[in-house]
Protein backbone atom coordinates (compact mmCIF):
# COMPACT_ATOMS: atom_id res chain seq x y z
CA UNK A 1 0.00 0.00 0.00
CA UNK A 2 2.79 2.42 0.93
CA UNK A 3 4.72 1.58 -2.23
CA UNK A 4 1.60 2.15 -4.26
CA UNK A 5 1.13 5.61 -2.71
CA UNK A 6 4.77 6.53 -3.31
CA UNK A 7 4.53 5.35 -6.91
CA UNK A 8 1.38 7.45 -7.45
CA UNK A 9 3.00 10.49 -5.87
CA UNK A 10 6.06 10.15 -8.10
CA UNK A 11 3.95 9.65 -11.21
CA UNK A 12 2.06 12.82 -10.37
CA UNK A 13 5.10 14.91 -9.35
CA UNK A 14 7.64 13.99 -12.04
CA UNK A 15 5.87 15.61 -14.99
CA UNK A 16 5.50 18.84 -13.02
CA UNK A 17 9.14 18.82 -11.96
CA UNK A 18 10.28 18.25 -15.53
CA UNK A 19 8.17 21.20 -16.67
CA UNK A 20 9.84 23.42 -14.08
CA UNK A 21 13.25 22.20 -15.20
CA UNK A 22 12.49 22.95 -18.84
CA UNK A 23 11.09 26.35 -17.95
CA UNK A 24 14.31 27.31 -16.15
CA UNK A 25 16.44 26.30 -19.12
CA UNK A 26 14.09 27.96 -21.57
CA UNK A 27 14.62 31.41 -20.06
CA UNK A 28 18.19 31.50 -21.31
CA UNK A 29 18.44 33.37 -24.62
CA UNK A 30 20.86 32.18 -27.30
CA UNK A 31 23.01 34.81 -29.00
CA UNK A 32 25.67 32.37 -30.18
CA UNK A 33 25.05 33.52 -33.76
CA UNK A 34 26.68 36.91 -33.06
CA UNK A 35 30.17 36.64 -34.54
CA UNK A 36 31.96 39.27 -32.41
CA UNK A 37 32.58 37.69 -28.97
CA UNK A 38 32.37 40.97 -27.04
CA UNK A 39 29.08 41.92 -28.72
CA UNK A 40 27.81 38.38 -28.11
CA UNK A 41 28.57 38.71 -24.38
CA UNK A 42 26.95 42.17 -24.28
CA UNK A 43 23.77 40.80 -25.90
CA UNK A 44 23.18 38.55 -22.87
CA UNK A 45 23.19 41.60 -20.58
CA UNK A 46 24.68 39.56 -17.75
CA UNK A 47 25.79 41.78 -14.89
CA UNK A 48 25.38 39.15 -12.16
CA UNK A 49 27.19 35.83 -12.61
CA UNK A 50 29.73 33.46 -11.12
CA UNK A 51 32.88 32.43 -12.94
CA UNK A 52 35.61 29.93 -12.14
CA UNK A 53 38.99 31.40 -12.93
CA UNK A 54 42.64 30.67 -12.49
CA UNK A 55 45.60 32.75 -13.37
CA UNK A 56 48.40 31.24 -15.38
CA UNK A 57 51.56 32.90 -14.11
CA UNK A 58 54.58 32.55 -11.87
CA UNK A 59 52.78 34.48 -9.15
CA UNK A 60 50.83 34.20 -5.91
CA UNK A 61 47.84 31.89 -6.44
CA UNK A 62 48.99 31.06 -9.98
CA UNK A 63 47.32 27.83 -11.09
CA UNK A 64 44.75 27.84 -8.27
CA UNK A 65 41.11 27.82 -9.31
CA UNK A 66 38.90 30.47 -7.72
CA UNK A 67 35.18 31.19 -7.81
CA UNK A 68 34.41 34.82 -8.50
CA UNK A 69 30.98 36.24 -7.81
CA UNK A 70 30.11 39.30 -9.88
CA UNK A 71 27.25 41.64 -9.02
CA UNK A 72 26.35 44.66 -11.14
CA UNK A 73 29.50 44.08 -13.22
CA UNK A 74 31.91 44.26 -10.26
CA UNK A 75 33.57 41.59 -8.17
CA UNK A 76 31.48 40.96 -5.05
CA UNK A 77 33.39 37.97 -3.70
CA UNK A 78 36.24 35.56 -4.41
CA UNK A 79 36.82 32.15 -2.87
CA UNK A 80 39.41 29.43 -3.33
CA UNK A 81 37.48 26.63 -5.02
CA UNK A 82 39.49 23.81 -3.42
CA UNK A 83 39.30 25.01 0.19
CA UNK A 84 36.16 27.14 0.02
CA UNK A 85 37.98 29.92 1.91
CA UNK A 86 37.17 33.50 1.03
CA UNK A 87 39.98 35.53 -0.51
CA UNK A 88 40.53 38.85 1.33
CA UNK A 89 39.06 41.86 -0.46
CA UNK A 90 42.47 43.52 -0.86
CA UNK A 91 43.50 40.61 -3.13
CA UNK A 92 40.48 40.72 -5.49
CA UNK A 93 42.46 42.90 -7.94
CA UNK A 94 44.31 39.77 -9.06
CA UNK A 95 41.15 38.51 -10.75
CA UNK A 96 39.11 39.79 -13.67
CA UNK A 97 35.42 40.08 -14.46
CA UNK A 98 34.39 39.19 -18.00
CA UNK A 99 34.30 42.90 -18.88
CA UNK A 100 37.81 43.35 -17.48
CA UNK A 101 39.06 40.40 -19.54
CA UNK A 102 37.72 42.06 -22.70
CA UNK A 103 39.36 45.35 -21.66
CA UNK A 104 42.67 43.57 -21.06
CA UNK A 105 42.58 41.87 -24.47
CA UNK A 106 41.56 45.09 -26.22
CA UNK A 107 44.35 47.07 -24.52
CA UNK A 108 47.13 44.90 -25.92
CA UNK A 109 48.70 45.62 -29.28
CA UNK A 110 49.48 42.17 -30.71
CA UNK A 111 52.51 43.64 -32.52
CA UNK A 112 53.88 44.89 -29.18
CA UNK A 113 54.04 41.49 -27.44
CA UNK A 114 55.75 38.20 -28.21
CA UNK A 115 52.44 36.33 -28.02
CA UNK A 116 48.77 37.08 -27.48
CA UNK A 117 46.41 34.11 -27.58
CA UNK A 118 42.71 34.39 -26.87
CA UNK A 119 40.04 31.69 -27.07
CA UNK A 120 36.36 32.61 -26.73
CA UNK A 121 33.38 30.63 -25.47
CA UNK A 122 31.17 29.59 -28.40
CA UNK A 123 27.85 30.39 -26.71
CA UNK A 124 28.53 33.37 -24.44
CA UNK A 125 31.60 34.86 -26.10
CA UNK A 126 33.61 35.21 -22.89
CA UNK A 127 37.40 34.98 -23.16
CA UNK A 128 37.87 31.47 -21.73
CA UNK A 129 41.62 31.53 -22.28
CA UNK A 130 43.85 34.58 -22.42
CA UNK A 131 47.62 34.12 -22.64
CA UNK A 132 50.08 37.00 -22.92
CA UNK A 133 53.84 36.75 -23.32
CA UNK A 134 55.12 40.34 -23.28
CA UNK A 135 58.68 39.53 -24.37
CA UNK A 136 60.38 36.57 -26.00
CA UNK A 137 63.69 37.48 -24.32
CA UNK A 138 62.43 37.50 -20.71
CA UNK A 139 61.71 34.28 -18.85
CA UNK A 140 58.65 33.67 -16.66
CA UNK A 141 56.89 37.01 -17.24
CA UNK A 142 54.07 35.49 -19.30
CA UNK A 143 50.62 35.46 -17.73
CA UNK A 144 47.04 34.71 -18.48
CA UNK A 145 43.59 33.77 -17.27
CA UNK A 146 41.46 30.70 -17.82
CA UNK A 147 37.81 31.40 -17.14
CA UNK A 148 34.59 29.39 -17.16
CA UNK A 149 31.09 30.76 -16.76
CA UNK A 150 29.67 28.70 -13.90
CA UNK A 151 26.35 30.37 -13.17
CA UNK A 152 24.84 33.07 -15.34
CA UNK A 153 21.92 34.88 -13.74
CA UNK A 154 19.44 35.94 -16.37
CA UNK A 155 17.12 38.78 -15.44
Structural domains counted in the chain: 1
- Residue 1 within a domain: no
- Residue 104 within a domain: yes
For residue 47, what pLDDT is reported?
93
Summarised one tens digit per residue, pLDDT across range 92-147 is 999 999 999 999 999 999 999 999 999 999 999 999 999 999 888 888 888 999 99
- Residue 48 within a domain: yes
- Residue 13 within a domain: no
pLDDT band at 2, cuts 50/70/90?
very low
- Residue 45 within a domain: yes
Q: How would you label 25-39 residue by residue, b for 16+ Cβ within 10 Å and e otherwise?
A: eeeeeeeeeeeebbe
- Residue 20 within a domain: no
CB atoms within 10 A of CB 141: 13
- Residue 44 within a domain: yes
Q: What percent of the chain has pLDDT over 90?
A: 65
Amino acid sequence: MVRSLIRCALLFALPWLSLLSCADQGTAPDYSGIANPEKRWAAYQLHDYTIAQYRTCFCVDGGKRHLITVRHGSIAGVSDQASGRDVPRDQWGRFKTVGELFSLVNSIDPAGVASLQVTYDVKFGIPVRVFIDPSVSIADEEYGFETELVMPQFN
